[in-house]
Amino acid sequence: MSGQAAAHAEAEGDTDSTWPFTIGLGLATLLLGLVVHWSILIVGALLLGYGVAGFLRGSRGLRGFEGWMLKASPRETVLAGTSLRKVGMWMFLFSEIMFFTGIIGGSLSLRAHTASWPLPGAVLDVPLTALNTFILICSSMTMVEALRGAQMGDERRMRAFLLLTMLLGIVFLSIQAREYVLLFFQRGLRPASGLYGATFYLQTGFHGGHVTAGVVALAFVNLKAWRGGYTKGSHEGVELMGLYWHFIDVVWIFLFTIVYLI
């Protein structure tokens, strides 16, 4: 199917190219083959080779692709009407989904093959973390209200909610830091003290790192908002910040259930 489309694209000149898509599909099949079966691996390798060959031969190589990317107006692409910056943010979030899937899936796998695994309540402070979960949900709420303020043209409202979002993020991190200190020094749960400790710090640590990055990004967004950088007509930065922030919330929804409750 991609061959047909690609031939069509070549005939049309430089309007479109599906070879990058073929390459991506080939790579994904190849990786799938690595974990499932060697026959899928061969199919993936063939598809990848076919895609790379077609890319180099048909669409004038990397420079041709680059030219197409620069020339293509949003209306000509399949995602017509969606801003390219927003598509870019979603692309970044896909890579984040894969990243956290690997970490959480790997931890679950280790857990499934370990004979004795402590109940979360026996080691962790579940009520305190439930409060923390609630704080993070609140911060998602304030983030979306900040965006609404920007959309309504109410800049005071937007600034107030952006500040509140950042503060809630800091509160979340403070509570987690306190939890870490308690677990590490008083209960002796350390990354090196076994699979339970290792997977716990791996999962919550990478999430906490992402929250920290989000708070830093929010500081920049707050600064720009205070300087009047976002208006009713131009506030995409707030929306993209929100996408990242909500994604961090979604990751925590998964982690809270998997690490603290099950």
Partner 1 sequence: MALTDGADADDAGRGAALVDGRTGSTRAATPAPPAAQGAAPPQASEGPGGPGRHRIYITVFAALAALTVMELSVNRLVHLKSLQVELLVPMMLAKAALVVLYYMHLRYESRVLRWAVLVPLAMAVFFAIVVTRGGG
Residues 192-251 that bind partner 1 (CB under 8 A): 233, 242-243, 246-247, 249-250
Query: Which residues, at least 6 apart from 192, have a Cβ–Cβ distance to it below 8 Å?
Result: 198
For partner 1, which residue of 45, 126, 160, 217 counts as binding (CB under 8 A)? Answer: 126
Categorise residue 192: left if φ over 0, alpha if ψ from -120 to 50, beta otherwise: alpha
For partner 1, which residue of 112, 115, 122, 192 counts as binding (CB under 8 A)? Answer: 112
For partner 1, which residue of 35, 70, 115, 122 counts as binding (CB under 8 A)? Answer: 35
Place of tokens 């073929």: 22
For partner 1, which residue of 151, 181, 185, 195 counts as binding (CB under 8 A)? Answer: 151
Minimum gap (Å) between residue 28 Cβ and partner 1: 7
Instruction: Specify the residue, 25 or 173, whose C-beta has the smaller distance to partner 1.
Output: 25
Residues 128-147 that bind partner 1 (CB under 8 A): 130, 133-134, 137-138, 140-141, 143-145, 147
Q: Position 229: which residue type?
A: G
CB distance 34 to 41 below 8 Å: yes
Instruction: Specify the residue, 99 or 185, whose C-beta has the smaller distance to partner 1.
Output: 99
Per-residue binding letters, 70-99, with partner 1 (x by CB under 8 A): ----xxxxxxxxx----x--x---x--xx-
Q: What angle do CA 199, 204, 206 make, to 5 degrees?
A: 95
53 interacts with partner 1 by CB under 8 A: no
Instruction: Specify the residue, 86 or 190, whose C-beta has the smaller distance to partner 1.
Output: 86
Instruction: Specify the residue, 58 or 120, whose C-beta has the smaller distance to partner 1.
Output: 120
Minimum gap (Å) between residue 144 Cβ and partner 1: 5
Residues that bind partner 1 (CB under 8 A): 28, 32, 35-36, 74-82, 87, 90, 94, 97-98, 101-102, 104-106, 108-109, 112-113, 121, 126-127, 130, 133-134, 137-138, 140-141, 143-145, 147-153, 233, 242-243, 246-247, 249-250, 253-254, 256-258, 261-262
